[in-house]
Amino acid sequence: MRSISRKGRSCDNARMEGFFGTLKREFFRGRGWEGADRDGFMVELHRWLKWFRSGRISESLGWRTPDESRRLLGYTV
């Protein structure tokens, strides 16, 4: 079994690497966090994660949000 923690062995981490790249690009960059306290930061991060999981339009989902796709498949949202 390969270790995914060693440098150069991140093929199993590709999804998480992509997610963290998106998080940095869409959430961190372009914002001024100098005056933010920990609680305010956590509220904003939670708000972004909720939008990312439910409200973000995705090309791979046919330009629908995850919630719209779940409804079309008959799942409860």
* Inside any domain, residue 72: yes
* Inside any domain, residue 62: yes
* Inside any domain, residue 45: no
Share of the chain above pLDDT 90, in %: 48
Task: Indicate the burial class of 56 (C-beta count within 10 angstroms; 0-12, 13-18, 19 or more).
Answer: middle
Its domain, for residue 59, covers 51-77
Residue owning tokens 């708000």: 47
- The half-sphere exposure of 34 on its side-chain side, counting CA atoms within 13 A, is 2
For the stretch 7-19, pLDDT in tens is 666 566 788 888 8
> What contacts 2, CB < 8 A, 6 or more positions away?
9, 12
Q: Flag the least confident range among 9-13, 24-28, 39-43, 70-74.
A: 9-13
* Inside any domain, residue 61: yes
* Inside any domain, residue 67: yes
Q: How many domains does the chain have?
A: 1
